[in-house]
């Protein structure tokens, strides 16, 4: 099966390509680096020629509200139209657990808009909603820093390894379209206000942490369960400690 991975040079995308190829599929990364730009449309028809499945794990270069909305809507619309022309049979996209519960976040509103375009396209699809990647912990802390202090909400948190995200996405790509959403999360139920400070400390990051129930996460306040997957979710195999040890020895 030929699978074109849009964003196949990125953190998750490169692992999806590797996994699919290891399982005997022909997985091809496509992104601006290889001349395929889903925002301008440049090189998209060429990249999709002969594809059975398209996996979209691209990300916006800018997280500013307008930029990210424009990126995901333009890119997804262009891609879905090109898939129709190319006769692609399955569109797989990565989204974020809880995106539909947090409309005050510009980034999450953009993911909801991306999901809606996919659902309303009438084309066969699978959406994999993941929780936060372990690799993203410092970026979350940076985005939560005000006057040098990291402001975090005391809420449930279930982050995961990007390897487990890639495994779930590769399985979705090799399977039949769900025409629905699969939620995935990490194996351990944690708390954001404990996990992130512990990771910062472990990495020698001296920033003070302020625990505040009104602290904003990418523009939105959080409820206790905003970011955690529901009961039907598939849980990853790699916990934080194992992930950190693997990373240290890599
Ligand atoms: N971070 C998290 O905790 C988290 C949680 C859940 C879901 N997600 C979702 O996971 C997805 C992948 O994230 P990631 O961290 O793996 O991304 P990433 O490492 O930042 O990679 C982004 C990819 O998008 C490509 N790209 C950028 N602009 C493009 C364009 N105009 N046309 C085609 N491709 C373009 C890049 O290509 P070049 O290398 O050529 O620039 C790169 O391959 C995102 O959709 C994100 O919303 C993230």
Angle at 15 between CA 13 and CA 18, to 5 degrees: 110
Distance (angstroms) between ligand 1 centre and the Cα of 60 equals 6
CB 86 within 8 A of CB 47: no
Closest residue (by CA) to atom 4 of ligand 1? Answer: 132
Confidence (pLDDT) at 161? 98
- The reply to whether ligand 1 has any atom less than 6 angstroms from the CB of 7 is yes
Distance (angstroms) between ligand 1 centre and the Cα of 211 equals 30
Residues 175, 98, 111, 60, CA torsion sign: negative
User: Tokens 């074109």, residue?
Assistant: 4
Please write the tens of the pLDDT for every residue from 51-102: 999 999 999 999 999 999 999 999 999 999 999 999 999 999 999 999 999 9
Helical segments of 53-126, H only? 65-86, 106-120
Confidence (pLDDT) at 250? 87
Distance (angstroms) between ligand 1 centre and the Cα of 165 equals 13
Q: Structural domain boundaries of the chain?
A: 2-249
Please write the tens of the pLDDT for every residue from 195-222: 999 999 999 999 999 999 999 999 999 9
Collapsing DSSP states into helix, strand and coil, what is residue 184?
strand
Question: For the chain, what is the mean pLDDT?
Answer: 97
pLDDT tier for residue 33 given thresholds of 50, 70 and 90: very high
CB 116 within 8 A of CB 99: no
Q: Which helix (H) or strand (E) holds 2?
A: strand 2-6
Query: What CATH number does domain 2-249 carry, 3.30.2130.30, 3.40.640.10, 3.40.50.720, 3.40.50.300?
Result: 3.40.50.720
Q: Which of 54, 58, 76 to mutate to test the pocket of ligand 1 (most atoms within 8 A of CB)?
A: 58
Task: Determine if residue 55 is left, alpha or beta; phi over 0 gives left, psi from -120 to 50 gives alpha, anything else beta.
Answer: beta
């Amino acid at each position: 099966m030929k699978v074109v991975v849009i964003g196949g040079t990125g953190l998750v995308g490169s692992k999806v390509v590797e996994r699919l190829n290891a399982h005997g599929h022909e997985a091809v990364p496509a992104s601006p680096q290889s001349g395929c730009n889903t925002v301008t449309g440049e090189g998209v028809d060429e990249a999709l020629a002969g594809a059975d499945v398209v996996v979209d794990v691209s990300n916006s270069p800018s997280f500013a509200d307008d930029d990210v909305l424009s990126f995901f809507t333009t890119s997804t619309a262009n891609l879905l139209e090109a898939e129709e022309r190319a006769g692609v049979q399955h569109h797989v996209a990565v989204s974020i657990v809880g995106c539909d519960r947090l409309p005050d976040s510009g980034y999450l509103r953009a993911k909801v808009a991306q999901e809606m375009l996919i659902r309303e396209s009438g084309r066969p699809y699978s959406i994999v909603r993941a929780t936060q990647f372990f690799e993203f912990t410092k970026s979350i802390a940076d985005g939560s820093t005000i006057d040098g202090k990291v402001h975090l909400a005391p809420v449930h948190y279930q982050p995961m390894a990007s390897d487990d995200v890639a495994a779930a996405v590769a399985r979705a790509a090799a399977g039949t379209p769900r025409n629905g959403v699969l939620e995935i999360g990490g194996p351990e139920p944690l708390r954001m206000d404990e996990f992130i400070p512990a990771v910062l400390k472990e990495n020698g990051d001296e920033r003070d942490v302020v625990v505040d129930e009104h602290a904003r996460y990418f523009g939105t306040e959080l409820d206790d369960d905003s970011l955690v997957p529901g009961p039907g979710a598939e849980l990853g195999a790699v916990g934080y400690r194992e992930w950190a040890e693997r990373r240290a020895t890599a």
